[in-house]
Structures are given as structure tokens and as C-alpha cells.
């Protein structure tokens, strides 16, 4: 942790506060930094945009990727006011930044009634033990498309 | 599984095929159904929109929530051509549908070089054991905002 890290993490916390006060959503903020520059900002906007995926990190990642014209956040650091929930952590893995820095923990989020910790406990469970009823079917029909992807000569990997 | 379930799951697989053939992204499709009606469709658009979060399920959830003007997919079923990755499964938990049906498995996705299975193995790890370097700091400063949320009289929970 450098003083620059602390500066950016405080900025993520400030975004959380501002978004909450503006009634845009929950008390969460995030930003994406590359070469010492903020290239994407986000705060939770779930309730104001009716988008359950509009968490701070997802909003910041989408903004940063738009700014870079890239679906990868190579060499970037993501600062978040709270430990990312599994959805956001998954988004971070797909964006492939170099590093993640956060302030509050998932337990802090659980203490103000957010489901982060609950979802962390659900994700590793076998599908049949999760709280959302889940079924698998037509696997062979689905795999036909996967094989077509594998054999596609002009596919763009990601 | 009913014949209606099979119909919608085949439609999700068809969306996967169509999106892949149009070079919009990977071979994944999803849809959201309520009362026998499709209210949101999605296919992977990561590479065509430079958005690493534009997975089929996320796109379908966002579309369905926009159609319903709600951040919750109460009483809905999500059909996906593949087992959702952790990001999408997290998004599904936040959207709170009644049920999930999918075709291919995470192992099928891994077999055509997608990171789903890798990310499933990373998510449950302690932060210090994950492949993305992660640090926590300023937790107390972050918690000040969480306490303000807890005490906020006009907050909208989600």
C-alpha cells in the first residue's frame, strides 16, 4: 500500500458516500486506475436504474473498458470501498486487472444486511444444494454450439 | 423439466449459436421467462461491445429488469445455454429469480478454453491465495459510510 493507493481507495469510499446520498443505490464505490490515472468510476446504481448488476465494480469496469476500447483491464488496479461480491469478483477475473484493493469486508456488508457473504457460501455448493432450484438438460444440444465455436476459424477469444 | 422448459432452453441455445455466428461474442445465450413469456434475451457480447461483463445471462437479466421496471426477477425462470459462470451466478442471486435451467456444464466451457471452472476454484479461496494480488486497507474509513447507510431513513433496500 502506497500513499497513492490510499488516495484512490479514499476516492472509492467518497464515491460510495456520494452515490448513497444521491439515492442512486447502496453505499459502494469503485474505480479503475492505470498509470496513476482514474480511467473508470462507479457507484452502486441498482435501485435507481433497476439493474441488479449495477454494482460499483461492474459500473467502474464497464466505464474503464469503454474508455480503453478494450475488454481487458491489463495493468490496471481496481479500488473498491468494499470487498467485491462474487458477481463483481467474477467480473474482475474476466477483466483481468493486475491488482485489487478494497476497504470494508464481506462481513461488514453482511452486518448492514447485504447478501454478499450468503452468496459467497452458495457459489461453491453443488447446484442441487443451492437455494435457487436448478436443473440441467439438453447438454448434448448445447455442446453442438460449443464444438462449432472450437472449430470457428475467425473467432475472437477473450 | 416440461416441454415448455425444453422449448425455452432450445431458444437459449439458438441465441448462443446466432450470437456466435454474428461474431458478437462467445457461444452463450440466455433468456428470462415469466408466465410463459420471454421478457429478456441475451447472448454473449464481450468482444463486440468491449464489455467483459456482457455475458449472456447478465445481458438477459438487464433486459428483463428493464422490461419489468424492477431490479428483481421474482417468479421468473432463467434459461441459459451453459451453466452460469460465478459472475453470472452472482448476478442471478442478486436478481432473485425462482429457478435456473441450463444445458452445458462449466466443464464443457473449460473444454473450449473458457475460464469459468478456473474462476469457480478461485472465488472460495482466501484473498491472499487468489491469482489476482489483493490488499485490504482503510476498513474503518469505509465502515463510516456503511453506518451512515444503516442509519439512513429514506434508504431503498435491495
Interface probe, candidates B26, B40, B43, B87, chain A, greatest A C-beta count within 10 A: B87
The whole-number pLDDT of residue A141 equals 98
Residues of A in contact with B55 (CB under 8 A): 94
Chain segment B115-156, per-residue pLDDT in tens: 999 999 999 999 999 999 999 999 999 999 999 999 999 999
pLDDT bracket for residue B86 (50, 70, 90):
very high
pLDDT bracket for residue B98 (50, 70, 90):
very high
The answer to whether the CB atoms of A94 and B87 lie below 8 A apart is yes
Annotated catalytic residue, options B57, B128, B129, B135: B57
The answer to whether the CB atoms of A133 and B158 lie below 8 A apart is no
Chain A closest CA to B37's CA: distance in Å?
19
The answer to whether the CB atoms of B148 and A27 lie below 8 A apart is yes
The whole-number pLDDT of residue B28 equals 98
Residues of B in contact with A120 (CB under 8 A): 123-124
Residues of B in contact with A63 (CB under 8 A): none
In this complex, the residue of A17, A87, A156 whose CB is nearest that of residue B91 is A87
The whole-number pLDDT of residue B148 equals 98
The whole-number pLDDT of residue B100 equals 98
The answer to whether the CB atoms of A138 and B27 lie below 8 A apart is no
The answer to whether the CB atoms of B133 and A98 lie below 8 A apart is yes
ipTM: 0.97
Q: The whole model's pTM is what?
A: 0.97
The whole-number pLDDT of residue B36 equals 97
The whole-number pLDDT of residue B153 equals 96
Interface probe, candidates B63, B94, B102, B121, chain A, greatest A C-beta count within 10 A: B94
pLDDT bracket for residue B37 (50, 70, 90):
very high
Chain A closest CA to B90's CA: distance in Å?
4
For chain A, list residues with pLDDT below 50. Answer: none
The answer to whether the CB atoms of B143 and A115 lie below 8 A apart is no
Residues of A identified as active-site: 57
In this complex, the residue of A46, A72, A149 whose CB is nearest that of residue B20 is A149
Measured CA to CA in angstroms, residue B153 lies from A21, A78, A149, B40, B156 at distances of 11, 31, 51, 34, 9
Chain segment B140-151, per-residue pLDDT in tens: 999 999 999 999
d(CA A100, CA A55): 16
Q: Is B57 a catalytic residue?
A: yes
Residue pair A114/A26 in contact by the 8 Å Cβ criterion: yes
Looking at chain A, how many residues does it have?
158
List of residues 6+ apart from B125 with CB closer than 8 A: none
The answer to whether the CB atoms of A61 and B81 lie below 8 A apart is no
Looking at chain B, how many residues does it have?
158
Whole-number mean pLDDT of chain B? 97
Measured CA to CA in angstroms, residue A156 lies from A27, B20, B110, B127 at distances of 37, 10, 16, 31
The whole-number pLDDT of residue B43 equals 98
Measured CA to CA in angstroms, residue B156 lies from A15, B30, B90, B146 at distances of 18, 29, 20, 14
Three-class DSSP category at B50: coil
For the segment B74-91, the average pLDDT, to the nearest whole number, is 98
d(CA A36, CA A17): 23
The whole-number pLDDT of residue A72 equals 98
Count the Cβ atoms, other than its own, within 10 Å of residue B6: 15
Amino acid at each position: 500500500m502506497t500513499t497513492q493507493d490510499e488516495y484512490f481507495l479514499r476516492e472509492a469510499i467518497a464515491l460510495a458516500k456520494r452515490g448513497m446520498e444521491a439515492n442512486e443505490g447502496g453505499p459502494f464505490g469503485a474505480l479503475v486506475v492505470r498509470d496513476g490515472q482514474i480511467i473508470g468510476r462507479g457507484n452502486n446504481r441498482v435501485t435507481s436504474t433497476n439493474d441488479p448488476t449495477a454494482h460499483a465494480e461492474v459500473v467502474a469496469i464497464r466505464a474503464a473498458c469503454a474508455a480503453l476500447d478494450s475488454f481487458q483491464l491489463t495493468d490496471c488496479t481496481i479500488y473498491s470501498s468494499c470487498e467485491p461480491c462474487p458477481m463483481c469478483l467474477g467480473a474482475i477475473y474476466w477483466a483481468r486487472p493486475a491488482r485489487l484493493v478494497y476497504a470494508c469486508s464481506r462481513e461488514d456488508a453482511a452486518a448492514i444486511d447485504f447478501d454478499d457473504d450468503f452468496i459467497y457460501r452458495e457459489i461453491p455448493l453443488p447446484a442441487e444444494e443451492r437455494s435457487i432450484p436448478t436443473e440441467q438438460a439438453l447438454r448434448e444440444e448445447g455442446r453442438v454450439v460449443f464444438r462449432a465455436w472450437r472449430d470457428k476459424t475467425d473467432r475472437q477469444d477473450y
